[in-house]
């Protein structure tokens, strides 16, 4: 037997021992990437995991969007948020800041003449239907700014309210006002929200801006107006405009808000409602209209917020 074993080993030598197997894990699997905002988090709203809400609150319905906030406009408490300090192009929701800057400088009944320069913009963008050399009250222009998201109204109001500084003067005022009220991650380059390099805001800042807008009785009235009449002009008939914010028609206690869309911004939205003494606002940036429009998706967040008992732990505050 030993002789036979030796013969077999001579014919079939044993292979050398293999080293232990080493598996290289791809870096995408082996590394945990911590996502943090490159922007400065406001003192009242630190960056947190997404989504974030107070301890013990029900599950949060999440809209199809990159960034959003639910806040109480009376107390300033932020009830829930997702990436609240990330900057995105605003689209037409920035018109809330435009109105906040121009409304105190214009009497509602003040007549404003429209110039050709006021109407120079992307012809495919939203307009309220102003005509060159037409005369409109400041109130009509503000209604057109909100109800029809009129970019023509935005430029006309900004030029008229800017005085000798014209529209650039109002843009400077908008940036100064944003900083003053605590919307410190917002920067504007135009009054209507069409995409422009450097023009950004955050969901947190939008909630701060909305809180100030709804404190203004006149602006709050315009936001909840469902229809308005644009008076006739020489050789032009008058016509009716309607509010395109569907929250007003579909949600109990709706106070209004603002819609927005551009290629860069995607869909943006601000919607507010009141139940009893509570006033909540939802702000959404870089959203998608699936599975439903943002006004519809915001209703779930409003329902969630109103379901919370008063005094529920918040996750931050809107700058006062």
Active site residues: 92, 95, 149
299 alpha-carbon distance from chain centroid: 15
What value, to the nearest 5°, has the Cα angle with vertex 232 and ends 229 and 236? 125
Please compute, for residue 256, the number of CA atoms within 13 A of its CA located in the half-sphere on the CB side.
23
What residues have CB less than 8 Å from 34, skipping those under 6 apart?
none
Q: What is the DSSP letter of 225?
A: -
Say if CB 80 and CB 315 are below 8 A apart.
yes
Sign of torsion over alpha carbons 289, 290, 293, 299: negative
Is the bond preceding residue 60 a cis peptide, omega within 30 degrees? Answer: no
Reduced to 3 states (helix: H, G, I; strand: E, B; else coil), residue 158 is helix
- Token couple for 188: 């504007």
Beta strand 239-242 pairing with 77-82: unpaired
| Cross-strand partners of 259 | 269
């Amino acid at each position: 037997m030993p002789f036979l074993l030796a013969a077999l080993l001579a014919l079939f030598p044993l292979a050398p021992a293999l080293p232990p197997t080493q598996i290289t894990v791809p870096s995408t699997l082996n590394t945990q990437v911590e996502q943090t905002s490159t922007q400065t988090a406001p003192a009242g709203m630190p960056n947190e995991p997404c989504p974030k809400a107070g301890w013990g609150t029900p599950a949060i319905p999440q809209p199809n969007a990159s960034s959003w906030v639910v806040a109480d406009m009376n107390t300033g408490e932020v009830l829930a948020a997702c990436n609240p300090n990330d900057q995105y192009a605003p689209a037409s929701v920035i018109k809330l800041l435009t109105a906040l800057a121009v409304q105190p400088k214009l009497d509602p009944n003040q007549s404003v003449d429209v110039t050709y320069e006021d109407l120079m913009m992307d012809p495919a963008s939203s307009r309220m239907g102003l005509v060159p050399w037409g005369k409109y009250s400041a109130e009509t222009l503000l209604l057109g700014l909100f109800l029809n998201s009129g970019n023509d109204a935005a430029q006309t109001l900004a030029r008229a309210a800017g005085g000798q500084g014209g529209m650039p003067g109002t843009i400077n005022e908008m940036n100064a006002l944003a900083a003053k009220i605590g919307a410190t991650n917002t920067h504007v380059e135009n009054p209507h929200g069409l995409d422009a390099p450097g023009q950004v805001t955050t969901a947190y800042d939008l909630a701060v801006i909305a809180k100030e807008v709804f404190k203004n009785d006149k602006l709050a009235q315009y936001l909840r107006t469902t229809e308005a009449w644009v008076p006739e002009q020489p050789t032009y008939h008058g016509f009716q405009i309607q509010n395109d914010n569907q929250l007003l028609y579909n949600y109990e206690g709706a106070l209004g808000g603002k819609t927005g869309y551009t290629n860069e911004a995607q869909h943006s939205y601000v919607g507010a409602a009141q139940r009893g003494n509570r006033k909540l606002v939802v702000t959404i940036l870089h959203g998608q209209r699936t599975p439903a429009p943002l006004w519809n998706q915001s209703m779930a967040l409003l329902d969630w917020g109103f379901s919370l008992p008063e005094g529920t732990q918040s996750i931050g505050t809107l700058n006062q």
